[in-house]
């Protein structure tokens, strides 16, 4: 399955472009010399992801890998021309080994293991049953990941509400709570937090620092859902109860495998043998290689130990993770100049963004970080947006966890919570909507969904801003 991590032709094209026989390490990119045009490929790939599935779906699904590769080359070719081929190769190697590889391996492992867990039996959808499913899904999202959690629970939830004339709102709140808010408490939960973990944020940092905010946000959204579902249920006709099949949880072997995933990540955070390998200027730690290898073995074990009929009953396919792998490979390459320009601070072309999140006293404006990270996460995908603002806040995990902990909390909450505002804010959103449409739930359009999400979330997040987000 390693072919999922980077298509072979990508590697051959990029290496052909930038390969030089010299083994010398490349000089660092000059962020101060990178004007705003360097960010165009990054903007281009994100806009392609946002518009492609909506405006030209057939072409997009047939060629999204080529589109992502084109934007990646539009980043690497100018770097090679302006700074040298060796610099471009070094930048590519760093993005692949230091950022992308561990990110996609974790998503792959969670997707495979969660896809082997099957909930079967009869559920009758109603306000309290639905609320229970949403509460359960929100509670476990930081353990099995928002993608895995959504894939496990969305089909049972749809089956439970299939006979109801009003069931669209159930899926919408599922996206908000299970596919987004619930993932705020660990790097396993949501991709942006794992990006932070790779940058040095402690595994349990969000667990201890965002527990209250996540519980408050989830409770308010769940209360809105219950009130709305009760109102819809009162106007629905009563249907005769069908013969009930007992609920069963199958594929139980995957539960200890999830524990193994958590153990592998925790071990990599605590085991520091001090052994590193220099790969063209990028230092790769032994513990990270061991973690990624363990995650791949765990995924393979799940494929071997889980009966195939369980995955078939879950409608498990490889396409979602392949799409994520290809698109994020392009994203992590295209973001190289953006991060480099941000690293230049006030001397870089993105100094205006730095000023927007800087308070009058020169410190970070936490509420600005919260809302800018969040609103951009809604439209640009929350993982790369988190990385941009993490870098904007200094990029030093130790400082951000200490003196600037309120800033890191604001960035984390904005990226995770507001990823629910659009279908493209977080990877599971569009997947859930597609599954619901296939199962007969008439999901709203892109902008129709935004009417729902903005109406539900913005008042809650406005309250959260004044209750918990740092003072301006």
- pLDDT, one tens digit per residue, over 262-275 is 889 888 878 888 88
- At 238-249, the pLDDT tens digits run 765 555 677 788
Residue 325 lies in a domain: yes
Residue 322 counted as domain residue: yes
Ranges 120-134, 331-345, 346-360, 453-467, most confident: 453-467
CA 330 from chain center: how many Å?
Answer: 15
Q: pLDDT-based confidence at 141, cuts 50/70/90?
A: very high
Q: Is the pLDDT of residue 120 over 60?
A: yes
Number of Cβ within 10 Å of residue 23's Cβ equals 7
**Per-residue pLDDT tens over the stretch 395-454:** 899 999 999 999 999 999 999 999 999 887 887 887 788 788 877 888 888 788 999 999
Report yes or no on 372 lying in a domain: yes
Q: Which domain holds residue 271?
A: 49-233+246-467
- Write down the H helix ranges in 273-365: 286-305, 308-313, 319-334, 336-343, 351-356
Q: Measure Cα distances from 348 to 13, 36, 88, 360, 366 in Å.
A: 30, 9, 19, 20, 21
Q: Which tokens sit at 292?
A: 């990624």
The verdict on residue 40 lying in a domain is no
Residue 282, classed as helix, strand or coil, is strand
Question: What are the Cα distances from residue 125, in Å, to 31, 211, 229?
Answer: 54, 29, 10
Contact 124, 241 (CB under 8 A): yes
Please, which residues bridge with residue 282 across strands? Answer: 279
Q: How many domains does the chain have?
A: 1
| DSSP-derived 3-state class of residue 283 | strand
Report pLDDT for 240. 52
Rounded to whole angstroms, the Cα distance separating 278 from 283 reads 5
Distance separating alpha carbons of residues 299 and 218, to the nearest angstrom? 30
In this model, does residue 163 exceed pLDDT 50? yes
Is residue 7 situated within a structural domain?
no
Query: What tens digit of pLDDT does each residue of 184-210 get?
Result: 999 988 889 988 988 889 989 999 999
| Residue 433 three-state SS | helix
Element (H, E) at 416: helix 405-417
Cα–Cα distance measured from residue 296 to residue 111, given in angstroms and rounded to the nearest whole number: 11
Give the whole-number percent of the chain exceeding pLDDT 70: 92
Query: Tokens 């959690």 map to which residue?
Result: 149
Per-residue pLDDT at 138: 96
Q: What would the 3-class secondary structure string for 127-168 be?
A: HHHHHHHHHHHHHHHHHHCHHHHHHHHHHHHHHHCCCCCCCH
| Distance of alpha carbon 227 from the chain centroid | 29
Residue 239 has a pLDDT of 62
pLDDT for the residue 330 = 92
189 domain residue, yes or no? yes
Q: To the nearest whole percent, how much of the chain has pLDDT over 90?
A: 37
pLDDT at 241: 53
Q: Return mean pLDDT, the chain.
A: 85
- For residue 278, list its beta bridge partners: 283
d(CA 278, CA 289): 13
CA distance 51 to 282: 34
Helix, strand, or coil here: 375? helix
440: alpha, beta or left? (left if phi > 0; alpha if psi -120 to 50): left
Q: How high is the pLDDT of residue 9?
A: 46
Q: What is the distance of C-alpha 79 from the center of its chain?
A: 27
329 by Cβ neighbours in 10 Å (0-12 / 13-18 / 19+) ranks as buried
Q: What b/e string do you get for 206-238 counting C-beta neighbours within 10 Å, with b at 16 or more?
A: bbebbeebbeebbebbbebbbebbeebeeeeee
Examine residue 201 and state whether it is found in any structural domain, yes or no. Answer: yes
Residue 15 lies in a domain: no
CB 378 within 8 A of CB 425: yes
Hey, is 218 helix, strand or coil? helix
Q: Is the pLDDT of residue 92 over 50?
A: yes
Per-residue pLDDT at 455 exceeds 80:
yes
Q: What pLDDT is stored for residue 397 in this prediction?
A: 93
Q: Which residues pair with 119 in a beta bridge?
A: 249
């Amino acid at each position: 399955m390693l072919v999922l991590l980077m298509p072979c032709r990508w590697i051959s094209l990029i290496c052909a472009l930038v390969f030089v026989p010299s083994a010398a390490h490349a000089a660092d990119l000059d962020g101060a010399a990178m004007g705003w045009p360097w960010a165009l490929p990054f903007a281009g790939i994100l806009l392609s992801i946002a518009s492609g599935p909506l405006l030209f779906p057939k072409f997009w699904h047939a060629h999204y890998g080529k589109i992502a590769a084109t934007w990646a080359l539009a980043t690497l070719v100018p770097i090679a021309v302006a700074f040298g081929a060796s610099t471009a190769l070094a930048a590519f190697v760093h993005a692949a080994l230091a950022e992308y590889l561990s990110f996609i391996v974790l998503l792959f492992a969670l997707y495979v293991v969660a896809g082997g867990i099957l909930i079967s039996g009869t559920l009758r959808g109603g306000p309290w049953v639905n609320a229970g499913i949403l509460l359960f899904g929100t509670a476990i999202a930081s353990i099995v990941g928002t993608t895995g959690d959504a894939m496990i629970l969305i089909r049972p939830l749809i089956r439970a509400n299939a006979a109801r004339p009003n069931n669209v709102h159930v899926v919408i709140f599922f996206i908000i709570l299970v596919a987004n808010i619930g993932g705020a408490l660990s790097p396993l939960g949501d991709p942006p937090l794992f990006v932070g973990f790779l940058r040095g944020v402690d595994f349990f940092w969000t667990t201890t620092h965002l527990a209250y905010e996540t519980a408050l946000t989830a409770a308010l959204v769940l209360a809105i859902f219950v009130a709305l579902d009760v109102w819809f249920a009162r106007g629905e006709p009563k249907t005769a109860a069908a013969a009930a099949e007992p609920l069963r949880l199958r594929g139980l072997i995957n539960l200890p495998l999830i524990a193994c995933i958590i153990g592998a990540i925790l071990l990599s955070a605590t085991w520091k043998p001090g052994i590193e390998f220099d790969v063209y200027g990028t230092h790769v730690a032994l513990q990270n290689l061991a973690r990624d290898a363990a995650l791949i073995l765990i995924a393979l074990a799940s494929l071997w130990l889980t009966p195939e009929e369980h995955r078939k009953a879950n409608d498990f396919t490889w396409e979602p993770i392949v799409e994520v792998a290809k698109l994020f490979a392009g994203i992590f390459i295209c973001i190289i100049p953006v991060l480099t320009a941000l690293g230049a601070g006030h001397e870089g072309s993105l100094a205006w963004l730095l000023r927007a999140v800087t308070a009058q006293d020169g410190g970070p404006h936490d509420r600005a970080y919260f809302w800018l990270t969040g609103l951009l996460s809604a439209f640009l995908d929350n993982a790369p947006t988190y990385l941009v603002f993490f870098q904007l806040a200094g990029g030093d995990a130790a400082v951000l966890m200490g003196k600037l902990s309120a800033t890191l909390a604001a960035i984390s909450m904005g990226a995770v919570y507001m990823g629910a505002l659009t279908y493209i804010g977080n990877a599971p959103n569009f997947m859930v909507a597609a599954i619901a449409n296939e199962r007969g739930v008439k999901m709203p359009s892109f902008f129709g969904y935004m009417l729902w999400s903005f109406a539900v979330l913005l008042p809650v997040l406005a309250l959260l801003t004044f209750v918990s987000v740092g003072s301006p």
